[in-house]
Amino acid sequence: MKIILLGAPGAGKGTQAGIIKEKFNIPHISTGDIFRANIKNNTELGQKAKTYMDKGELVPDELVVDLVIDRLEQDDCKDGYILDGFPRTIPQAEELDKALAAKGDKIEYAINIETPDDFIINRMAGRRACVNCGATYHTSFMPPKTENICDKCGENLILRDDDKPETVKKRLEVYHDQTEPLIDYYKGTGILSSLDGTKDCEVVFAEICDVVEK
C-alpha cells in the first residue's frame, strides 16, 4: 500500500499517518520529521534545512528528493509506506514518479485532506509535537495523558518553532503557491481522493480506510 498524504500545513497529515502506520504496519515517512530530527542532532542537513523551515519556506528540492528516494529503498518499505509532506512541489512529484517507474513501481493513492485556512490557524497554536518519535498532539483536541509528555515514548513535547502565527501564515501561502498544484497533478494520474479534514480525527481515518480498502 503506497500512499501520499496531501494537504495544507496542519491539515492532519501527520496525525492520520500515525494511525495508518499502526493499522497497516507500514512506515510513516515524514520529511518534516526527518528535518526536525536532523536539526535536533545538529547535522549539516539540519543546519541547512532550519534556515528555510524557520521562515516557513520550502527546503530546496535538491536537499529532499534523493533523501526520500533512498529511504524508499530500505527493506521496511517493500510492502508499502505513507509519504507525509513529500512530494511538495511538482518537480518533487515528477522525480518520485520517475524513480519509481524505473523499478516498475508506482504510488497507489494520493489522499488530499482538505482543510480551510481559518481552521488551520486555530489548530496550530495548540499543536504539540514529539521530536523523538514524530507523534502529534493537540492541547484541546488530542491531549497527551500527561501534560507535555509523549504517550508513546515519554519524551518532552515541543511547540514547533514554525507554528508561530506569522510563520503559519507564510507556510499557508507557500502551500497554496507550490504544493496545491499537486492536487491537479494527481487528479491527472487518476489516483487522487479528497476528504474533509475538518471532521473528527476518527471520521477522517474511517474515510481514508474506505479509500485504501475498497
Q: Residues with catalytic annotation?
A: 13, 88, 127, 160, 171
141 binds ligand AP5 (CB under 6 A): yes
28 binds ligand AP5 (CB under 6 A): no
C-alpha to C-alpha distance for 14 and 83, rounded to whole angstroms = 10
10 binds ligand AP5 (CB under 6 A): yes
Nearer to ligand AP5, 26 or 30 (CB): 30
Contact partners, residue 93, CB within 8 Å, separation at least 6: 87, 182, 185, 186
Nearer to ligand AP5, 6 or 26 (CB): 6
- Residue number of the CB closest to Mg ion reads 14
86 binds ligand AP5 (CB under 6 A): yes
Q: Which residues bind Mg ion (CB under 5 A)?
A: 14
- State the virtual CA torsion across 25, 77, 153, 197 in degrees, nearest 10: -70
Quick check: helix, strand or coil at residue 15? helix
Q: Which of residues 30-69 bind ligand AP5 (CB under 6 A)?
A: 30-32, 35, 52-53, 56-59, 64
Contact partners, residue 63, CB within 8 Å, separation at least 6: 45, 48, 49
